[in-house]
Every structure is written in structure tokens, then in C-alpha cells.
Amino acid sequence: MANNDARSSLDDLRVLLAVTEAGGFRRAARSLGLSVSTVSETITRLESSLGVPLISRTTRSVMPTEAGRRLTERVAPLLFEARAALDEAASSGPALRGRLKLNVPGAVMVDILPPLIDRYMAAYPDVRVEIVVEDRLVDITAADCDAGIRYGEHLEQDMIAVPIGPRRQEGALAASPAYLARRGLPAHPSDLLDHDCIRVRISGAALGPWEFEREGVELTVDPPARLTMGTGGAAAAIELAIAGHGIVYMFRNWLDPHLASGALAPLLPDWWQPFDGPRLYFSRRLVPAPLRAFIDLAADERSRPPSA
């Protein structure tokens, strides 16, 4: 029989949201900074209090039950707004206080986001900053994040998206001079089918083809992968290309220093395809003060001339 007098704490509900979003107790425990046993005991206590199972546990997966799904859908925005209200109250004094938690892909952690976070932390020393790095698109409210950064994904209607970092970026192709001396220079994207290529895979996704464009002609090439790396290993993929192990296709801004030094040589630059830069997305319903300050700082950074 359910203990109807028991009132589940906000912390317990926050643990439930973390388990649902993470799809497992271990990942949720890491994100919360708790032990796995504490997370498991919290869910068991919450289920006992409500008298219904909230999480379905099998040897292969951890999934919310229908009751768990309905509960998390209702409490996620409430917990988000409660925390935002607390941050707003804490920031009513002379100094901005609270927490800024962003969910971002690894692609922005090389040279786009770190300078912004550096300026932000210097300007607002009393704000706690947390960066969650993962490539999948998540429900930022359910994940207890204030905002996310992604490239071009479709967002829910209640989300606002604003550019952050460069408005346009470019995919670039490169290899080491030693590799090209050994294997020759490709003259057309289709020639890549006969080369050793270093591919980067987004976590949980299929290995996407390489895309090229020139004078309105678009091509996709799916070359054989001599080496495949997750996005977290992109820096190592570049180093292995420098070492002569194959051709790499990467963000141009990641390759620029190595192209400038001569460690890598550009390939087929007329075919390099531009694409929209990353966007910061967040709920239109409530913007906590620490997030508003970050949005304003990012807008100010974008308005600066390149030499500034």
C-alpha cells in the first residue's frame, strides 16, 4: 500500500529525471555526483512512496514505466522553473549568482565555447558553470540543463535558437605531405574511394558520408575507413593524419593551425562545403538570469570585429 502521507522531495524527483534521461543508474549517478547505490535506493524509495513502479529494470536496459514517463514529463518543467526562480532570487542582489548548465557537442569545445566560458566566468565569478559534453540531441529541461548547443537539428516549437560562434563554418579535407607523396593527390572527390581515410563517427549514429559542393554541384562520398574514431577522439584523428595514416575530413577551423604549419596539406579546396554554425537553444518560457547573461555575452562576442 502506498504511503500517501509521504511527500517525495525535489531531490528524489531530480534523481528520477536523471535516471530517465541517462537510461541507466550508473550514468545518472555520474551526472549527479552520487553513488549508484544511492540512486537506486532513491528510486526504490520514491516507488514505495507512490505505490507504483516508475522504472523498468532488465539486464539490458533501464526504461521508465508509463507512470514514470508521465511523472517525469510533468515534473521536469516544474523543477526547471523552481531552480530558475531560486537562481533569479539569488541574483536579485548586486552580484549575479546561481548556475549555468549547458549541454553541448564536442565540436564546440575545441575553439568556440572555451573563450566564451572564459569571459563569462571572469565577468560573473559567483555563477557555477557546468558543461555536459555529448553529441546526441537531448531534452534540456529533462536533463536539468539551462540550454544546449547543436548544429542544425530540428528543435521543439517552445525552443528559441540563436547563433553562437561563427555564423558559417566549412568542412575541410587534408592529409600529410608524407601520405600524399606515398599515395598521390586526389583530383576529384570520387578518387577518395581509392585512399586510406580517417573517419569520425558521432556517438550512436551511422558513419555519415563525406559531403562536397562546387559551383552548385553536390556530391557525397562514402570512402573506406582505414581508421574510425568517435567524436571524442577527433584531436587524435588529426594527429594520426599528420603522422601519415590517411586523409581526414574535419571542421576547417580545427585543421587551420596544421594547414598553416604545413603539417597537413589541403585537398580539393574547391569542393569544401560550407554549413551553418552552431546555435544555442533554450526554452522560450523561462530564461534564468545566469543564462540571460550568457546569451548577452555571446551576442556581444559575435558583434565584435574579428581582430578584436
> Looking at the predicted structure, is the pLDDT value of residue 8 above 60?
no
Q: How far does CA 144 lie from the centroid of its chain?
A: 14
Please give the pLDDT value at position 207. Answer: 79
Domains and CATH numbers, the chain: 10-64 (1.10.10.10), 78-166+277-303 (3.40.190.10), 168-275 (3.40.190.290)
> Looking at the predicted structure, is the pLDDT value of residue 7 above 50?
no
> Looking at the predicted structure, is the pLDDT value of residue 289 above 70?
yes
Query: Using CA atoms in the order 165, 170, 173, 177, what is the torsion angle rounded to 10 degrees?
Result: -60
Determine contact, residues 158/112, Cβ cutoff 8 Å: no
Mean predicted confidence (pLDDT) in 216-239: 90
Residue-averaged pLDDT of the chain: 86
Reported pTM: 0.67
Mean predicted confidence (pLDDT) in 143-168: 82
> Looking at the predicted structure, is the pLDDT value of residue 73 above 50?
yes
> Looking at the predicted structure, is the pLDDT value of residue 206 above 80?
no
As to burial, measured by CB atoms within 10 angstroms (0-12 exposed, 13-18 middle, 19+ buried), residue 16 is: buried
